[in-house]
Chain A
Amino acid sequence: MEPTSSMGFDYAAPAFGQEKIQLAHGGGGRLMHQLIDGLFSAILIDPDFGVEHDGAVFESHGTKMAFTTDSFVVHPLFFPGGDIGTLAVYGTVNDLAMCGACPLYLSAGFIIEEGFEIKYLRRIAQSMRAAADIASIKIVTGDTKVVDRGKGHGVFINTAGIGVVDHDLDIGPGSIEPGDVIILSGDIGRHGIAVMAEREGLSFESRISSDVAPLAEPVARLIESGAKVHCLRDLTRGGLATVLVELATSSGKGIQIEERNIPVCEEVKGACEILGLDPLYVANEGRFVTFVPANDSDTALEIMQSSQVESCVIGSVTDTRSGLVTIRTHLGTERMVDMLSGEQLPRIC
């Protein structure tokens, strides 16, 4: 039907011989996947490991471990609900949690711009410490670099984390099965809107806080409950829609979701209406989806609701229409859910 798969990623060369990196290459959408799959993964990643999951899981000296890294360049550095430090800790903790691992140790690398005020650095370090305490992870090593004025945006942070996998579940896109139920851990879009509102100086009637939160504990309880968790994924850049398209593609299964079941709070809904954004694509930092077999879904839902009351079943996995995500609209019709090319841009009208 089409030379490039309409359902999976578009691997073909991008338009106009784009030989330079654009911001959209980091936006979590199609362009970023092309860069990772076509360049980094092809050159760098060991063939025994895939890049379709949030971290690498491997066995070393008889222990199953998970290892992951993430870099943080958020602007503004401080926003309602958190700051770059909280994100740097929870982001990596959550990637480990999504591998089904119990997070143990974290490294922290700082790239600081000349002229950056030390009082802000102290504030960021303090919130990293507080976040690490809450998430029960230890920051054990680090690195500091300073770059010339104008060559950084205040501060960039990289964290890498290591954790142990203390169970026999094989959690990842490859374990997703037809019939699996998909549970979402809460309402979507808070982080993206909070950061955008702060960055652009937009003010809404009520202040929207980021949902940034550690997810290792709810995941641990989920695994302890005995529910056969097939896959976990936190919703970050690109939002719920991007994550589901990624998982449908890498698992080779179809995904069906219900629009009416997806919780979006009134404030986020309103902000998205004004800005012309779709909450399905807005970033989150404290939400995840769980894929479990239908007969475990009640158990899993109950556990998830005990930490986040708005957790709910949003859809299921099908064995037809491989790689395709569809959504049943409020009006009962069906449409496909696509991955965006780059970041969402606010509309003219």
Chain B
Amino acid sequence: MKFIDEFRDSRVAARYIREIEQIASQPWTIMEICGGQTHTIVRNGIDRLLPEQIRLLHGPGCPVCITPANLIDKAIEIALQRNVIFCSFGDMLRVPGSTTDLLLAKAAGADVRVVYSPLDSVSIALKNPKREVVFFGIGFETTAPAVAVALRRAKQLEIANYSVLPALALVPPAIETLLSAPACNINGFLAAGHVCTVMGYRDYEPIAESFGVPIVVTGFEPIDILQGIHMTIAQLEQGVAMVENQYSRAVRKNGNSEARKLMGEVFCTVDRDWRGLGRIKRSGLALSDAYAGFDVDNRFTLSHVSTEEKSPCISGLILQGRNKPYDCAAFGNLCTPQRPLGATMVSSEGACAAYYRYRRHECGVIRMAKEEA
């Protein structure tokens, strides 16, 4: 297939691996931000093709994973109200809140519908004027413009029965939080290509400079990732720390200016809780004053119950790249995708879920080897 197979070519991959072997003179630790990249790495075993001294850490870039349990509880509470049609992207449905998930709420009678685009939820509101239609606005900068377009449409059409549960998060503040942690051992980052398609990469330049880490905007196919790793290591070996763009076929320095303008109109930046990472300043998007009427908080009376994460989950440490899924005693036994204890197992894009799906059969062997060592 054009523009897919080329980026999965095993010969090109072998060439990049050879080049990485040649230039890497010492151990380096690189974090890929995006869950989609983690998925590609684990699915294709890219970490195992690299020289041993190159370590990959899996970052917090999965919007499903980082959505806190109390926000999901809030979604379920709304979905279970009479007369509500609750619209969500498909992969949020299985994510557990503190006691249940949206799929189970659906089985219990809630009208929960999977949509492929936020605009679909606006169409549902138009078709069902007597029902309250709520969209679960989850995602990173990648998804935010689509949510903004839906809200603008709802406002233009003066749709009174439409609202959004805003749950959008921003990536750069999370990178700063990771780098500010005292135990941080990350030497370089692969930034998420899709996020930068919208936002560009100017926001990453001060981070690269002040923390002295290379940040390479990287795509999602195996060859993209290998090239991104190669570019990061080349910078590290030269003692350089700047932002580079591997994903130039999609990303421009200033991103998509139309999308950014619309986001500025519809959203404002707020502090936000990240599942596993805690509260991060100015890392979330709420609805701006002009759109506040579409916020679920102004439509529904809700209980606002806050919930605690379940232990013995170490997803916080995994999201910070300080542990691998195998390091968790609950991995694969107490914690599975069917009965997830924490953030990184809940979404198919999460690091624990990726290890469970592709490498679970090796888990015992690796644990034994670690214990012996």
Contact = CB atoms under 8 A, between A and B. Distances in A.
A324 to B, nearest CB: 6
Contacts of B91: 345-348
Nearest to A325: B361
Interface string B190-206: 00001000000000000
Of the listed residues A14, A31, A347, the one surrounded by the most CB atoms of chain B closer than 10 A to its CB is A347
A19 to B, nearest CB: 9
A36 B138 CA distance: 35
A349 B139 contact: yes
Given A269-B1, A338-B360, A349-B140, A21 B339 contact: no
B149 interface: no
Interface residues of B, number: 58
B262 interface: no
A331 B114 contact: no
B338 interface: yes
B24 interface: no
A18 interface: yes
Nearest to A202: B116
B33 to A, nearest CB: 12
Contact of B49 (A23, A273, A331): A331
A295 interface: no
Interface string A266-280: 100110010100000
A333 B107 contact: no
Contacts of A31: 338
B89 A3 contact: no
B93 A345 contact: yes
B139 to A, nearest CB: 6
Contact of A15 (B48, B143, B339): B339
Contacts of B333: 2-4
A346 B359 contact: no
A119 interface: no
A346 B360 contact: no
Nearest to B138: A348
B342 interface: no
Contacts of A18: 104, 107
Interface string A4-18: 101100100011101
Contacts of B361: 6-7, 321, 324, 326, 336
A6 B356 CA distance: 9
Contact of B332 (A2, A21, A333, A335): A2
Nearest to B61: A349
Interface string B337-361: 1111000000011000000111111
B245 interface: no
A122 interface: no
A278 B91 CA distance: 14
B45 A334 contact: yes
A62 interface: no
A331 B44 contact: yes
A349 B36 CA distance: 8
B103 interface: yes
Contact of A349 (B1, B8, B63, B356): B63
CB-based closest 8 A-B pairs: A333-B45, A345-B90, A1-B364, A335-B358, A15-B339, A20-B107, A348-B89, A22-B107
14 contacts: A3-B333, A15-B339, A200-B116, A273-B4, A329-B44, A330-B222, A333-B45, A336-B358, A347-B348, A348-B138, A348-B143, A349-B139, A349-B142, A349-B194
Given A6-B360, A338-B360, 10 more contacts: A15-B338, A15-B340, A16-B104, A22-B104, A22-B106, A266-B1, A270-B1, A273-B1, A329-B45, A345-B94
Interface of B: 1, 4, 8-10, 13, 36, 42-46, 48-49, 63-64, 89-94, 96, 99-101, 103-104, 106-108, 114, 116, 138-140, 142-143, 194, 222, 332-333, 336-340, 348-349, 356-361, 363-364, 367
